[in-house]
Amino acid sequence: MFRITLAALLVLFTIVPATTAQGLYPPHAHPDEWGLAIVDVETTGLEPGTHEMIDIGAIYTDLDGRELGRFFVRIHPDHPERASALVRGMNGFDETRWTELGALSEADAVAAFLDFHDSTRGDRTMLFTAYNAYFDRNFLDALLRQHGSSFREHFTYFLLDIPSLAWGAGIPDMMNGDVAAELGLEAETSNPLDHTGLSGAEWNLAVLHAIQARSHETGSAGQ
């Protein structure tokens, strides 16, 4: 269960006033009140506000890792000219290809994502979970704010950062290929035509499962 794996981190919530998030604390004592929003975004660069999201993938689960729903959409950025050749080579972004693949306008993508978020989470408070979580969080917040919303309206203040969870499980590394190797996983695809926000979210979920298994093995060995 993810709530066992994450218990050491989530116990920090017990000292935080409940007004900072919607759910009841601590989450492991109220698992039906909480869920994980496992997210990955692709962008035209590294700077939110200058660069923009070109897709988002999300897999929502309960605290045990059971899937509640998944979402993916490609997005037409307002300023595609800001995408560097390096970034295009990493995520396959091309304006014509995006049109052929059914990319939405930013406004329509926001509406679709928020509809998914509200309908899938139900009454749960979702913990935003990602690899380099602040990167994805800040890009999503920038997009939401451009369209009359904000990250904090839909997610709790706290984030779960996957490299930090791996570090706590005895893998003091940050590069996803190295973390994957330590966990016995294949690295996330490097093929730009296959690399999407949804493939990233799927890989993030696989890493969480592997961290959970490693933590169980470590706990069993110490008994």
**CATH number of the domain within which 155 lies:** 3.30.420.10
Please give the Cα distance from 15 to 161 (Å, whole number). Answer: 20
pLDDT in tens, the chain (223 residues): 554 455 544 444 444 444 345 788 899 899 999 999 999 999 999 999 999 999 999 999 999 899 999 999 999 999 999 999 999 999 999 999 999 999 999 999 999 999 999 999 999 999 999 999 999 999 999 999 999 999 999 999 899 999 999 999 999 999 999 999 999 999 999 999 999 999 999 999 999 999 988 987 776 665 5
Q: Is 141 exposed, middle or buried (0-12, 13-18, 19+ CB in 10 A)?
A: buried
Backbone φ and ψ for 71, nearest 5 degrees, come out as -145, 145
Structural domain span for residue 139? 2-221
Q: Which residues contact 101 (CB under 8 A, 6 or more apart)?
A: 74
Residue type, 102: G
